[in-house]
A = this chain, B = another copy of it.
Amino acid sequence: MKASQFFVSTLKEAPADAEVVSHRLMMRAGMIKRLGAGIYNYMPMGLRVIRKVEAIVREEMNRAGAVELLMPVVQPAELWQETGRFDKMGPELMRVKDRHERDFIIQPTSEEVVTDIARQELRSYRALPKNFYHIQTKFRDERRPRFGVMRGREFTMKDAYSFDRDRDGAARSYQAMFEAYKRIFDRFGLQYRAVAADTGAIGGDLSHEFQVIAETGEDAIVYCPTSDYAANIELAEALAPAEPRAAATQPMVLAPTPGRSTCADVAELLGLPLQRTVKSLVLATDERNDAGDIVGTTVWLLLVRGDHELNEVKAGKLPGFAAGWRFATVAEIEEHFGCKPGYLGPVAMPKPVQVIADRSVAAMSDFVCGANQPDAHLTGVNWGRDLPEPALVADIRNVLPGDPSPDGAGVLAIQRGIEVGHVFYLGTKYSAAMNASFLDENGKPRLMEMGCYGIGVTRVVAAAIEQNHDERGIVWPVAIAPFAVVLCPIGYDRSEAVRREADRLHDALAARGIDVLLDDRGERPGVMFADWELIGVPLRIVLSDRGLKEGQLELQGRRDAEATRVPLDEVEATVQARLAS
């Protein structure tokens, strides 16, 4: 393709509201154009990348046996009322009325519609398993859309939904999607990790996020460099210390710690390592009656080591916490501990409070904690001697780099990542709500077992940039680059020789199936080079009169420090080899 028949539009400066690098570079490279908050036009350069992402997704979904269909953007509210999501979902679900005042929604996902299709079409066990997917425009009315297409309101998503006869079948469908996703992300040419993720209210253990590695990612990914272990930090297990609890060696002593309300401050004052301190966190769970009124509250004391952080997802899974929890109010804290926050501890609490200790805390001896008196802590505290053993010992903290891997195969490391895909076992959540059943071999109705599998197509594009860029612009992996090769002729409009060779090479590369753009805009070399470095095309070929006289072209990969001179008759083979490597 020639640039004159395409549309190239770059900006020197990104707009001020572009906070993250992918947003800035997508705006500057002319890939997107803002239409409203979180709503973007995908400009020709951006659409080419999106289409390449979609094509890879589609090929691998089909290869995995999923069947493509297309479900509507505007969906009747009735189905969303069947599952209760029409009322339960917040304002991120965009609701609209038609001319007859009937309720509709703009789809954020399509569980309801696909389950409606399944309950009508998949009536017999012989029709199962089946996996339907579509690649379609989605809308989520985010409270604060930002970061360009990373957290937009309108976006493109591939969402697939599997239907199986039983849990074993669902696990096989899940595994097939997991493998397909690995092929998809391999083909994108991105560094990624498939990490075990929390399954939330659904339960079960089948949930993985596909995270593109990027320093700017919002998610913390825990992995073991010497094994396959990888999990979202929400889920990653912190093992109990391998060493048993040491014996007490110190007496318990009241230490004045005026104004020192954090573990770090106390450790500093006392000249002790932070790891010897214990942090006290007071949580509360409310008991409600059928009308939703609070009829009782339980206060809990959670203990983690001073250098550790509470993992709120793990806390949510503690016995008694299933209906939700909150941090206790200052009034509740003072009522139970007789003391303001900052000096709390598990020793000699004025009112009985359930104590839940993290595994690390349970293994400590001679530790430091608050004294339940203002401006005072206790040192040399020991379980069993100074206070009862904790009511419950559990994993309630975030892992740290260097912690042992749960699979016993090394120590953990932590990376940042951007979640761009999610595979999820749904069980019968939707099939039960919508009575999506099939007749089994014995003619008995059974609920379908479901899974759902999403890839944020437009988010993949942004994540790819967060991972692959430098100070000059984007650095695309070949598979999803808008063009694989750009030809930059110097003097295309003046030199017959340059024009002839540029045209010939363009046609020759295109004939080999290489996605090539010939920049015939007539821009100065500096402008031309800066544009294509910004846009991030993997290979650039420069043609000039001088080079042609010597029978040579200049070839430069986007990450290369310098150009390489290549004899004319070797260019096509060299390009093909470079792109394949």
A interface with B by C-beta (< 8 Å): 5-7, 9, 33, 35-36, 39-44, 47, 50, 65, 67-76, 91-92, 94-96, 98-99, 104, 106, 113, 116-117, 120-121, 130, 132, 136-137, 139, 141, 143, 153-154
Given contacts A33-B120, A113-B35, contact A98 B141 (CB under 8 A): yes
Contact for A74 among B6, B69, B136, B139, CB less than 8 A: B139
Q: A94-B98, A99-B91, A141-B99 are in contact. Are A41 and B67 (CB under 8 A)?
A: no
Minimum CB–CB distance for A246 against chain B, Å: 55
Q: Which 6 A-B pairs have the closest CB atoms?
A: A91-B99, A36-B76, A42-B70, A96-B96, A7-B67, A44-B67
**A70 and B104 alpha carbons, distance in the complex (Å):** 24
Closest CB in chain B relative to A105 CB, distance in Å: 10
Task: Collect the chain B residues with CB atoms within 8 Å of residue A117's CB.
Answer: 33, 41, 43
Residue in contact with A73 in the complex, picked from B9, B67, B139, CB distance below 8 Å:
B139
Could you tell me the distance in whole angstroms from the C-beta of A111 to the nearest C-beta in chain B?
Answer: 14
A–B Cβ pairs within 8 angstroms, 22 of them: A7-B132, A9-B121, A35-B75, A35-B113, A35-B116, A39-B72, A40-B72, A42-B69, A42-B70, A44-B69, A44-B132, A50-B70, A72-B137, A73-B73, A73-B139, A74-B94, A74-B139, A92-B99, A94-B96, A99-B143, A106-B106, A136-B137
Which chain B residue has the least Cβ–Cβ distance from A75?
B35
Q: Contact partner of A41 among B47, B113, B141, B154, CB < 8 A?
A: B113
> A74 contacts which chain B residues (CB < 8 A)?
39, 94, 106, 139, 153-154
Interface centre among A41, A50, A116 (most CB of B within 10 A): A41
Contact, CB under 8 Å: B130 / A7: yes
In the assembled complex, the Cα of A6 lies from the Cα of B62 at a distance in Å of 9
**B68 in contact with A47 (CB, 8 Å):** yes
How far does the Cβ of A386 sit from chain B's closest Cβ, in whole Å? 53
Name which residue of chain B comes closest to A66, CB basis.
Answer: B5
Known: A96-B96, A141-B98. A72 touches B9 (CB 8 A): no
**Looking at the complex, which one of B65, B73, B143 makes contact with A5 (CB distance below 8 Å)?**
B65
- A136: chain B residues within 8 A (beta carbon): 137
Would you give the shortest CB distance from A282 to chain B, in whole angstroms?
34
B96 near A106 with CB under 8 A, answer yes
Q: Looking across the interface, which residue of chain B has its beta carbon closest to that of A130?
A: B7
Name the distance in Å between A453's Cβ and chain B's nearest Cβ: 17
CB A491 to nearest CB in B, in angstroms, measures 18
Q: Closest approach, in angstroms, between the C-beta of A126 and any C-beta of chain B?
A: 9
Q: A96-B96, A96-B106 are in contact. Are A6 and B75 (CB under 8 A)?
A: no
The minimal Cβ–Cβ distance linking A67 to chain B, given in whole angstroms, is 5
Docked CA distance A423–B128 (Å): 46
Q: How far is the CA of A213 from the CA of B75 in the complex (A)?
A: 33
Cα distance, A92 to B74, chains bound together (Å): 14
